[in-house]
């Protein structure tokens, strides 16, 4: 049975396929401009970040951080006869946080003049979308379309998740108990954060990375320090390593790992596959209507977010690059002005964050990238151990590293340590507005705060060092 959406002329100015952070942000911006907007998604409003990514994982990581802080305090100033955790409650609390935020986003969309259809949409032609909704098909006509369908975990054929023994980053959010041992395949952001989480609660964690290094795009100074901290926590890291075979071994999984020229044979209770993500572009007929994809299925776009079809645009994960929720939201805020006001935005500085302990936050170029480019630069490193707030908190691991050009504009900034993910925004503000470190130096930073680490780092760059 085919029905049509009951609107006058059955016509929309813009239809957005995907209701994640990029999609619903674009919908709000379009509605604010007075456009007739339709939002389509076959899952819940909020996308991967809200339901299977940022929010549930950060809830889990916060619980792990608190547990570790208490354990460490028991050896110092706080005493307790017994310290334990309820893993079921930890998982359940993360779901409660998701539910709370999800209802907020749903209320936000419902309060706007935005039509919403819950169903799977695919293109019939460049101006017609068919949406499978329950037992019906809805035909939608629209002047323009934005594809914001996000991404999904990549599953190598060798180790398909069954969500019993082998999990991906979605399935692991529903794991029933904390495993005694877990193998994490992939040393990117997702794998690293889950490694910290399970290690915090006593799991024996091994990370297998097939590249030369985990977190391969990280500035080398941060990488060295981070690896040192992870190894100190008891996390085993195997680089230049590949999984040869996985066998069932009673209640465990026996895994053969080739590491350089050695074969390591180990048993694990569970495996987490964190080998990257692929775009959700399958089955929506993009190639059929002429939208050009790359060899991995990502949509090719120009500086106006426009695909190879003039009225079809794309934002967020489906376009490749940094697959981050805040990047997708930024795309969503800009694209409507790009389409309807012909604005072209300069490339944004996108901060990258890792939320385990120690936290990592980076923006701009690494020192290796600067050196290879031949740009003349100066750098400064300011240590957390010289900061009053860090000392008071009892957490002095880490440093801030800033590199500037001859005009004192920031080329790259990298922070490792507790609070790094909050600190990076000040540096982003400076870089995004083409300011210099002089603006940071002229700004009074409250004392004691972690922000003073950035202040000191900038002072060092102009030879006004106050603390080592």
Distance CA 279, CA 17 (A): 13
Is residue 241 situated within a structural domain?
Answer: yes
Mind listing the pLDDT tens digit for each residue in 370-412?
999 999 999 999 999 999 999 998 889 999 999 999 999 999 9
**Are both 163 and 269 inside the same structural domain?**
yes
Q: What is the DSSP letter of 377?
A: -
Domain boundary among 275, 310, 330: 275
Q: Is residue 397 within 8 Å of residue 420, measured between CB atoms?
A: no
**Cis preceding linkage at 448, omega within 30:** yes
What contacts 41, CB < 8 A, 6 or more positions away? 17, 18, 19, 20, 23, 47, 116, 118
**Are both 252 and 299 inside the same structural domain?**
no
- The alpha carbon dihedral of 47, 48, 53, 59 has a sign of positive
pTM above 0.85, yes or no: yes
Question: What pLDDT does 466 receive?
Answer: 67
Question: What pLDDT does 467 receive?
Answer: 58
The end-to-end CA distance of the chain, in Å, is: 73
**Positions marked catalytic:** 447
Question: What pLDDT does 9 receive?
Answer: 41
Question: What pLDDT does 1 receive?
Answer: 40
- The alpha carbon dihedral of 442, 443, 445, 450 has a sign of negative
CATH number for the domain including 215? 3.50.50.60
**Are both 257 and 400 inside the same structural domain?**
no
Distance CA 135, CA 130 (A): 13
Range of the domain at 430: 358-461
Question: What pLDDT does 76 receive?
Answer: 67
Distance CA 465, CA 468 (A): 7
**Are both 139 and 173 inside the same structural domain?**
no
Q: Is residue 135 within 8 Å of residue 6, measured between CB atoms?
A: no
**Are both 146 and 161 inside the same structural domain?**
no
**Are both 6 and 133 inside the same structural domain?**
yes
**Are both 364 and 422 inside the same structural domain?**
yes
Angle of the 21-32 helix axis to the 87-110 helix axis, nearest 10: 20
Which residue ranges in the chain fall short of pLDDT 50?
1-9
Question: What pLDDT does 7 receive?
Answer: 42
Q: What is the DSSP letter of 164?
A: S
Question: What pLDDT does 339 receive?
Answer: 94
**Are both 167 and 237 inside the same structural domain?**
yes
What is the number of domains present in the chain? Answer: 3
Q: Judging by DSSP bridges, how do beta strands 270-273 and 262-268 pair with one another?
A: unpaired
**Are both 13 and 147 inside the same structural domain?**
yes
């Amino acid at each position: 049975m085919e029905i049509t959406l009951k609107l006058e002329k059955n016509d929309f100015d813009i239809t957005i396929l995907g209701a994640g952070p990029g999609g619903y942000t674009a919908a709000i911006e379009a509605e604010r401009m007075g456009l007739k907007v339709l939002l389509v998604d076959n899952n819940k409003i909020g996308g991967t970040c809200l339901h299977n990514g940022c929010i549930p994982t950060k809830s889990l990581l916060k619980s792990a951080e608190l547990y570790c802080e208490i354990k460490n305090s028991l050896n110092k100033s706080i005493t307790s006869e017994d310290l334990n955790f309820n893993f079921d409650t930890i998982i359940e609390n993360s779901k409660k946080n998701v539910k709370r935020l999800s209802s907020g986003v749903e209320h936000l969309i419902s309060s706007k003049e935005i039509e919403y259809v819950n169903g799977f949409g695919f293109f019939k032609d460049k101006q017609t979308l068919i949406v499978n909704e329950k037992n019906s098909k809805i035909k939608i006509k629209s002047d323009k379309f934005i594809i914001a369908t996000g991404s999904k975990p990549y599953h190598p054929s060798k180790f398909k998740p069954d969500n019993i023994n082998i999990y991906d980053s979605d399935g692991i959010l529903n794991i029933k108990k904390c495993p005694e041992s877990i193998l994490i395949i992939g040393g990117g952001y997702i794998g690293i954060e889950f490694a910290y989480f399970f290690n915090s609660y006593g799991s024996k964690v091994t990370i297998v990375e097939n590249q030369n290094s985990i977190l391969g795009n990280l500035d080398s100074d941060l990488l060295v320090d981070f690896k040192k901290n992870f190894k100190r926590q008891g996390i085993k890291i195997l680089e230049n390593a590949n999984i040869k075979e996985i066998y069932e071994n009673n209640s465990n999984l026996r895994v053969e790992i080739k590491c350089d020229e050695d074969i390591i044979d180990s048993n694990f209770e569970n495996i987490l596959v964190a080998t990257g993500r692929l775009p959700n572009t399958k089955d929506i007929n993009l190639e059929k209507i002429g939208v050009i994809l790359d060899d991995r299925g990502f949509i090719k776009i120009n500086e106006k977010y426009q695909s190879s079809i003039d009225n079809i645009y794309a934002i967020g994960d489906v376009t490749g690059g940094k697959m981050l929720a805040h990047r997708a939201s930024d795309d969503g805020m800009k694209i409507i002005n790009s389409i309807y006001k012909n604005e072209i935005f300069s490339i944004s500085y996108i901060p990258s964050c890792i939320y385990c302990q120690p936290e990592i936050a980076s923006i701009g170029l690494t020192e290796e990238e600067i050196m290879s480019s031949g740009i003349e630069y100066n750098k400064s490193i300011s240590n957390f151990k010289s900061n009053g707030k860090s000392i008071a908190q009892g957490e002095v691991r880490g440093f801030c590293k800033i590199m500037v050009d001859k005009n004192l504009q920031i080329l790259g900034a990298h922070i490792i340590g507790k609070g790094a993910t909050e600190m990076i925004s000040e540096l982003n503000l400076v870089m995004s507005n083409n300011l210099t470190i002089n603006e940071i130096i002229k700004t009074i930073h409250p004392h004691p705060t972690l922000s003073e680490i950035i202040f000191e780092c900038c002072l060092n760059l102009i030879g006004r060092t106050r603390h080592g």
